[in-house]
C-alpha cells in the first residue's frame, strides 16, 4: 500500500534501505512469507502517522512523505517478492521499490528526487552523502523509538557552521529538507503534534544554542525542544530525546 501523492513536486521523498526495515534471514509471524521487522520499522510508522495527520487536517494536503524502499543486499534482492509481501503484511506505505547494486543505487536516489536517504550501513550513507543526497545513519537503538511521533534531532553545532560561502551541496540539501520539515510542523499546533523537532548543541554555551535557534528560524524551522550540552556527554540526553535520526552537515550516527 502507498500514500496517494497529490503533487509529486511537493512530495518529501525519503529512501530507506530494506535491510534497515526488515531483518534479512529473520522470519516473521507468518514464517517464510514475511521478514521480521528491523531497526527502521518504527520510523516508517512515524512517517505514516505524520501523513495521516496532515490529511486529517487538510484532505487536499500535498506536502506529504513519500517512502522508497531501496534494496542493495543481494540476498534480499533474490527474495524481492518476500520484501513486497512483508511490506503489505505490516501495512507499510511504500510508493516504490528500488532493487539496485551497491555501485548504482545512487542513480536511483537521484532519479527519484530523494530528499533523505537512511541506512544502517555507514559506507552506503557516506556514498550517498558524497553524491549530494542528504543521508543519515540509523542506529540499532532506534528500534525502541516510539512510532506515534516522528522525532528529528538537529545538530546545532553544524547549523552554526553553515554560514560559509559558497554553501556546500550537502548543506544545501540539509537546509532544503529542514525547511520542508519546518513547513510540515507549522501545520500542527503546539501540543499533540505527530512531528517533533529537537535542537541539541554539544559544544559552547547558551550563545551557541541561541545562534543555532536563530539560524533554524531563518530557514523556517521552529524547534519543540532545545538542549545545550556545553561539552557534557550526549548519551543521557539522547536516551531521553529518543530521535529517529539526526540531521547534520556531515554523516553522523546516534552513538555516544
- Tell me: pLDDT of 244 over 70: yes
CA distances for 124 relative to 99, 207, 234, angstroms? 14, 35, 25
Confidence of residue 88 (pLDDT cuts 50, 70, 90): very high
Q: Is the Cβ–Cβ distance between 215 and 161 less than 8 Å?
A: no
Residues 6+ apart with CB under 8 A from 49: 147, 148, 149, 150, 194
* pTM exceeding the 0.85 threshold for the entire prediction: yes
Q: What percent of the chain has pLDDT over 90?
A: 43
- Tell me: pLDDT of 31 over 70: no
> What's the CA gap between 185 and 168, in Å, rounded?
26
The per-residue pLDDT for 51 is: 96
* CA within 13 Å, CB half, 66: 21
Query: What value does the mean pLDDT take over residues 77-92?
Result: 90
Q: What percent of the chain has pLDDT over 70?
A: 84
**pLDDT per residue as tens digits for the range 148-175:** 899 999 987 666 555 555 666 667 888 8
Query: What value does the mean pLDDT take over residues 85-113?
Result: 90
The per-residue pLDDT for 1 is: 46
The cell numbers describing 59, all together, are 484532505
Looking at the domain that runs over 12-141, which CATH code has it been given?
3.40.50.1000
**pLDDT per residue as tens digits for the range 194-223:** 999 999 988 878 888 888 899 899 888 999
In the chain, what are the domain boundaries? 12-141, 150-247
Amino acid at each position: 500500500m502507498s500514500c496517494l501523492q497529490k503533487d509529486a513536486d511537493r512530495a518529501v521523498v525519503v529512501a530507506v534501505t530494506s535491510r534497515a526495515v526488515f531483518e534479512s534471514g529473520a522470519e516473521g509471524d507468518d514464517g517464510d512469507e514475511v521478514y521480521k521487522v528491523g531497526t527502521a520499522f518504527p520510523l516508517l510508522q512515524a512517517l505514516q502517522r505524520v501523513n495521516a495527520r496532515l490529511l486529517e487536517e487538510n484532505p487536499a494536503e500535498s506536502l506529504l512523505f513519500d517512502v522508497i524502499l531501496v534494496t542493495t543486499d543481494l540476498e534480499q534482492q533474490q527474495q524481492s517478492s518476500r520484501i513486497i509481501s512483508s511490506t503489505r503484511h505490516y501495512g507499510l506505505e511504500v510508493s516504490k521499490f528500488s532493487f539496485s547494486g551497491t555501485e548504482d543505487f545512487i542513480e536511483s536516489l537521484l532519479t527519484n528526487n530523494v530528499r533523505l536517504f537512511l541506512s544502517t550501513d555507514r559506507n552506503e550513507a557516506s556514498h550517498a552523502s558524497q553524491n549530494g543526497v542528504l543521508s543519515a545513519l540509523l542506529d540499532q537503538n532506534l528500534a525502541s523509538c516510539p512510532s506515534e511521533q516522528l522525532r528529528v534531532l538537529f545538530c546545532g553545532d553544524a547549523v552554526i557552521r553553515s554560514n560559509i560561502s559558497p554553501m556546500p551541496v550537502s548543506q544545501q540539501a540539509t537546509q532544503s529538507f529542514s525547511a520542508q520539515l519546518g513547513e510540515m510542523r507549522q501545520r500542527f499546533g503546539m501540543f499533540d503534534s505527530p512531528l517533533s523537532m529537537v535542537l541539541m548543541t554539544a559544544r559552547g554555551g547558551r550563545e551557541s544554542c541561541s545562534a543555532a535557534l536563530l539560524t533554524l528560524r531563518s530557514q523556517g524551522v521552529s524547534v519543540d525542544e532545545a538542549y545545550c550540552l556545553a561539552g557534557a556527554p550526549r548519551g543521557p540526553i539522547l536516551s531521553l530525546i529518543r530521535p529517529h535520526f539526526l540531521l547534520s552537515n556531515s554523516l553522523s550516527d546516534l552513538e555516544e
